[in-house]
Structure 1
Amino acid sequence: MKLEICANSYLSAINAQKAGADRIELCSELSVGGITPSYAILKKISEEITIPVNVLIRPRSGDFCYIDDEFSLMKENILLCKKLGFNGIVSGVLNTDNSIDIERTKELVELSKPLSFTFHRAFDCVDNPQESLQQLIDLKVDRILTSGQKLKAENGIYLLIELQQLAKDKLIILPGSGINAKNARIFKVAKFKEIHASASKIIDKESTIFFDKTPQTISDFENIKEILNVIKDA
């Protein structure tokens, strides 16, 4: 089983690599579900991180329906990630009814090649996950990041298992959200190939910025090691 760490900063990415994570999903602003990191962070991580890094391509927080200008920004960022030599792209587009936008997602998948493509947690908004799974198989997506349409992946385990059985070897179901050392074994027993976790801890409980009380978090070296000890234990 592989461990992908959702790293929200340069330091989080460094901790993931030092702790022995198999892969990183790189984003910024994890408190709003993640958005695409800045060029400076992308460049620095492309130069200093040696484990595979997949980059979140999401131009803003909120829903997953994008105007033309936002979609153009997404495509520009994919081209940048290809130029910088990243391993993969994490993205996706929905229609206003929360169905998968087939044409735009296909365009992103094709543009990303030969990088891997993960359809992100927009999947947890769709009304028919089984039908959406087949659509993404047809689009030749490499994996789907999902919590099983629950707040935490542990609570969505039954749908996750069903999706894995339906997907067979056509794509990877990547459980994510709330996975830690205490519940990681559930996913190992269910024979998932990979799991996704931020392994974060709060490093700034009392923000001094009066207009932003969001606590600062970081992917923690020890938390990552604890998850790895669970999933790599024979």
Structure 2
Amino acid sequence: MILEICANSYQSAMNAQKAGAHRIELCSELPIGGITPSHGLLKKVMHSLSIPVQVLIRPRSGDFNYSNAEFEIMKENILQCKDRGCTGIVSGVLHTNNNIDIERTRELIELSKPLTFTFHRAFDCVTNPKESLKQLIDLKVDRILTSGLQPNAEKGIELLIELQQLAKNKLIILPGSGINIENINLFKDSGFKEVHTSASKEISNSNVFFDNTKQTVSDEETILKILHEIKNA
């Protein structure tokens, strides 16, 4: 089983590599679901890491229906990722009715080649996951990052298993959200080939009056424990 760490900072990325994680998804601002990391962060991570780096391409928080300007920004960020030697893109676009925007998603996939393409957790907003799975198979995405349309992957395990069975070997179902040392064996025993987690811990409370979010970092010790379970359970 491949362990992908959702790394929200340079330190998180380094901790993931030190612990032995197989790859990272680099992003920023996890409390709002993640957005595209800065160019400076991407450059620093790509200079320092030897494990594969996938990058979240999401220009803002909120829904997944983007203006023309936002879509152009997404494409420019993909080109920067290709120039930096990243191994994969994590993105996707929906219509206002939460159906997959086939044409725009196809455009992102084509632009990303030869990098891999993961359709991100916009999938957890779709109204018909089985039909959406078929569409993404037709688009030839490499994987879908999803919690099974539930707040976390453990609650969505039944749909995740069903999606995996329907997908067969045409794409990878990548469970993500709330995966930890206590439930990792559920996903291993269910036959998933890859899992996604931030494995994070809180490192400080913000005392800035306009920011009540907590600072977190992917924890090396937690990642080691999850890897131990993957290898030895």
Q: TM-score, normalised by structure 1?
A: 0.99
Deviation per residue, 1:19-42 (Å, 9 max, x gap): 000010000000100000000001
Deviation per residue, 1:90-139 (Å, 9 max, x gap): 00000000000000000000000000000000000000000000000000
In the other structure, the counterpart of 1:33 is: 33
Aligned AA (2:7) = A
Deviation at 1:232, TM superposition (A): 1.5
In the other structure, the counterpart of 2:218 is: 219
In the other structure, the counterpart of 1:191 is: 191
- Structure 1 portions without partners, runs of 5+: none
2:98 is the alignment partner of 1:104: no
Deviation at 1:233, TM superposition (A): 1.4
Counterparts of 2:212 and 2:113, CA distance in 1: 40
Deviation per residue, 1:202-222 (Å, 9 max, x gap): 0013x2101101010000001
Deviation at 1:178, TM superposition (A): 0.2
In the other structure, the counterpart of 1:124 is: 124
State the aligned residue count: 233
In the other structure, the counterpart of 2:17 is: 17
2:113 is the alignment partner of 1:113: yes
Counterparts of 1:176 and 1:113, CA distance in 2: 24
2:1 is the alignment partner of 1:6: no
Return structure 1 stretches of 4+ with deviation > 3 angstroms. none
Deviation at 1:85, TM superposition (A): 0.3
In the other structure, the counterpart of 1:230 is: 229
Counterparts of 2:54 and 2:30, CA distance in 1: 15
Aligned AA (1:222) = E
Counterparts of 2:53 and 2:152, CA distance in 1: 24
SS at structure 1 position matched to 2:232:
coil
SS at structure 1 position matched to 2:6:
strand
In the other structure, the counterpart of 2:167 is: 167
In the other structure, the counterpart of 2:153 is: 153
Counterparts of 2:86 and 2:137, CA distance in 1: 23
In the other structure, the counterpart of 2:55 is: 55
2:209 is the alignment partner of 1:210: yes
Counterparts of 1:164 and 1:17, CA distance in 2: 28
Aligned AA (1:54) = Q
In the other structure, the counterpart of 2:68 is: 68
Aligned AA (2:207) = T
| Structure 1 vs Structure 2 CA RMSD | 0.6
Deviation at 1:143, TM superposition (A): 0.1
In the other structure, the counterpart of 1:91 is: 91
SS at structure 1 position matched to 2:4:
strand
Counterparts of 1:156 and 1:230, CA distance in 2: 21
In the other structure, the counterpart of 2:80 is: 80
Counterparts of 2:76 and 2:39, CA distance in 1: 11
Deviation per residue, 1:183-219 (Å, 9 max, x gap): 00000000100000000000013x2101101010000
Counterparts of 2:47 and 2:152, CA distance in 1: 33
Counterparts of 1:231 and 1:133, CA distance in 2: 27
In the other structure, the counterpart of 1:44 is: 44
Counterparts of 2:90 and 2:13, CA distance in 1: 16
Counterparts of 1:230 and 1:60, CA distance in 2: 35
SS at structure 2 position matched to 1:44:
helix
Counterparts of 1:33 and 1:213, CA distance in 2: 16
How much identity, in percent, do the aligned residues show? Answer: 71
Counterparts of 2:224 and 2:117, CA distance in 1: 26
